[in-house]
Amino acid sequence: MRALEGIERGLWELRDRNSRRASPPVARLCVRDPAQLMQVRHSGLRCRNFVVMDNPGRGAVTYQCEDGGTGRTDLRVETSRLVQIQTQGIADGAPFSLALEGRWVGGCR
C-alpha cells in the first residue's frame, strides 16, 4: 500500500488515544513489514485483506481471518515514525474498537 511506504521499520509502541492520562502501551511490536500496523488486533494471524483506500499518508483495509475474526483498520501517517490507527471488528468472538497512536521507539531487539 502506498500509505505504508514511508513507515519506519523497528519497535513500535501503540497507545490508547482515548486515555485521559499517560497510559502504558497497549502493545509493543516489532514491525518488520508496515502492513502489520493494519492488523494489530489480529497480529500474527493469517487474514485475507481487502484494500478500501490507498492514498499517500492514509489507508484503510477490511480483513477476514482464518480463525473467524474480522476487522477494519483506518491508518493515517503523520510522519514515518508516528501513525494514528482506528480499528474495529470481532476478535475471540467479541467486538472490539480501538483508537491508537503508534510511535516508533527504536530498533527491534
pLDDT 10s digits, 43-75: 888 999 999 999 999 999 999 998 889 999 999
Domain range spanning residue 95?
Answer: 2-106
Encode pLDDT of 12-37 as tens digits: 999 998 866 666 667 899 999 999 99
Report the pLDDT averaged over residues 69-98: 95
Q: State the Rg of the chain over Cα.
A: 13
Q: How many structural domains is the chain composed of? A: 1
Indicate the SS3 state at residue 18: coil
Between these two residues, 22 and 2, which has the higher pLDDT value?
A: 2
Amino acid present at 58: R
The pLDDT, as a whole number, for residue 41 is 87
Note the pTM of the prediction, 2 decimals.
Answer: 0.89
- Residue 30, strand partner residues: 11
Neighbours of 55 (CB within 10 A): 12
